[in-house]
């Protein structure tokens, strides 16, 4: 599959999809987190940050704050592509919706407040439609 580089092409092809589940961002601290099967992890200077399904986090005794929904952008965006993250974050910010972007090898993923997930999805669909218009 050929990666998409141009901002307009990435936005026009993003096909946002709201995934099931609710997620939380957690600090692993001194816990052995590997058995928790996080959706994602990142080593920061302060320690390991995890993205866990809310119920798994709750069961493991993590604080469950700021529940997030996951919207996957189904365009194969190039790692060196410019503009997709900025466009998504700007569109959501204009509606007052927080957005935490996570870029993986094949796709970008937007975590938004769970209670505004449907609204965020509609905003991203409208952004895609605008970029697809002639």
Torsion angle, CA of 85/14/123/64, rounded to 10 degrees? -60
For residue 68, give both structure tokens: 């997030």
Residue 35, Cβ density class (10 Å: 0-12 exposed, 13-18 middle, ≥19 buried): exposed
pLDDT digits over 71-117, tens only? Answer: 999 999 988 899 999 999 999 999 999 999 999 999 999 999 999 99
Its pTM stands at: 0.93
């Amino acid at each position: 599959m050929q990666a998409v580089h141009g901002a307009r092409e990435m936005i026009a092809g993003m096909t946002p999809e709201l995934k099931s589940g609710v997620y939380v961002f957690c600090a692993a601290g001194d816990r052995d987190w590997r058995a928790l099967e996080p959706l994602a992890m990142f080593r920061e200077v302060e320690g390991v940050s995890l993205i866990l399904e809310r119920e798994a986090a709750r069961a493991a005794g993590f604080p469950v704050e700021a529940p997030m929904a996951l919207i996957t952008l189904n365009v194969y965006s190039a790692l060196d592509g410019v503009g997709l993250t900025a466009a998504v974050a700007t569109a959501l910010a204009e509606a007052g919706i927080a957005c935490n972007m996570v870029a993986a090898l094949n796709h970008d993923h937007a975590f938004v407040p769970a209670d505004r997930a449907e609204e965020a999805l509609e905003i991203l669909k409208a952004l895609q439609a605008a970029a697809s218009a002639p």
